Amino acid sequence: MLTCGSPGLARCGCTAWLAGPHLGCRAGAGWLTVPLSLQHLYGERLLQCVQAVVSAGREDCRGAGEPLLEVLVTVLALWGPTGLGDKVQETLAELAAVEGMDSSQDLFRARVSPLLEWLAASHRAWTGHSVELLQLDVVLTHSGPALGEALPQLVPILRSCLQPARDPAMRLKLFSTLTGVLLGAPETVDSQGQLRGYLDTLVQDIFVPNLQWHAGRTAAAIRTAAVSCLWALVSSGVLSDRQIQGMQETLMPQILTALEEDSQMTRLISCRIINLFLKTSNGVTDPDRFIKIYPELLKRLDDVSDDVRLAATSALVTWLQRVQSEASKCCYQSSVRHLYRELLVYLDDPECAVQDAVLEALKAGSVLFPDLLVKETEAVLHKHRSPTYCEQLLQHLQALPQ
């Protein structure tokens, strides 16, 4: 009697069946009908079948690499975390050798577009429980630089699956996977320098709708996931300052709103995104919108998290630097005066790290209107518990070039 691991499998005609079309689909569908207690065993047997085909039917496998890879992706997606991962990787290496390739990554490089097309066939029906979502995670995390060549297949899947009307659990999982990919964007989705061609789709069709405020914890979790994904993109180093500035014009209002989220992580990342938006901006194109930024950051100096308070202070430093670069900075004198006064309050904060950060912020902004800052500092000096920080600031002001 022949088993999946039997060398005679290929000679019995099973190779053609195993290496036939849509084997990955059959494998995933078959898993759904297996009792829970037998699912791991099912995965082992399925992997043994592929191993038998690869080892015994080498000539037959040469034209069947794609369906066999689909099955290995399925096994890795469903049972990789439960102990089969190493065995799947070994089988991938063997299949790569049969295909005349140096490594398993070469397999994914050669097959990533067909793999994505295979998954895309059903993506409109995906939910958070879909096997295909796990398979997509495997493809995205194993394809490396090949993803940069498969953007025409990948981006439509992301755009469709991340629409607000789709299953929230699926969107959360997909955002998590996409964030990991974007963190290594130069070696993944932008390996060919083509990601910029899809930037408008990412912003308008993915980030904008998912950053919209909706009531409920699930909606809040999705906004946190979207903010994290956006940060992964803008901090990845693959976008030019001009491209980030274009994103800022669309996304800044929603990121300012995200500063009020209950999630500390969302507030913290939003501060970092605003800071980066300000750093990469080439001058103030809309003074009215620009002036509205600093009051929202000031509110975060009362945040319960010191990390958020420090991130907000850093963003305020950048805001002051943007004012300094403006030829008509005198137009901002009223706003800067208000910012001086508010920062001086936090110069007496109970947290030393916040005091230090605020002192550096005031020093950075002192070049704008030094006489005004001297006046404001002297006015509150006697109100502080300790005059130390105010005196340090005054010493700095006195040392400025006249």
Retrieve residue 214's tokens. Answer: 């909706």
pLDDT band at 53 (very low <50, low <70, confident <90, very high): confident
Distances (CA, A) of 187 to 48, 108, 181, 183, 192: 33, 14, 9, 9, 9
pLDDT band at 396 (very low <50, low <70, confident <90, very high): very high
Tokens 């079948």 sit at which residue? 49
Domain 240-402, CATH class in plain words: mainly alpha
Domain extent listing, the chain = 240-402
Helix (H) or strand (E) holding 164: none
Query: Which segment of 59-63, 115-119, 290-294 scores lowest on mean pLDDT?
Result: 59-63
Confidence at residue 8, expressed as pLDDT on a 0 to 100 scale: 36
pTM for the model: 0.89
pLDDT in tens, 160-217: 999 999 999 999 999 999 999 999 999 999 999 999 999 999 999 999 999 999 999 9
Q: How buried is 352 (Cβ within 10 angstroms: 0-12 exposed, 13-18 middle, 19+ buried)?
A: exposed
What share of the chain in percent tops pLDDT 90?
A: 64
Q: Which amino acid is at 271?
A: C
Rounded to an integer, the average pLDDT of 60-74 is 78
Confidence at residue 25, expressed as pLDDT on a 0 to 100 scale: 47
Confidence at residue 60, expressed as pLDDT on a 0 to 100 scale: 59
Rounded to an integer, the average pLDDT of 116-140 is 93
* Polymer length in residues for the chain: 402
Using the predicted structure, report yes or no on whether residue 19 has a pLDDT greater than 90: no
Using the predicted structure, report yes or no on whether residue 368 has a pLDDT greater than 70: yes
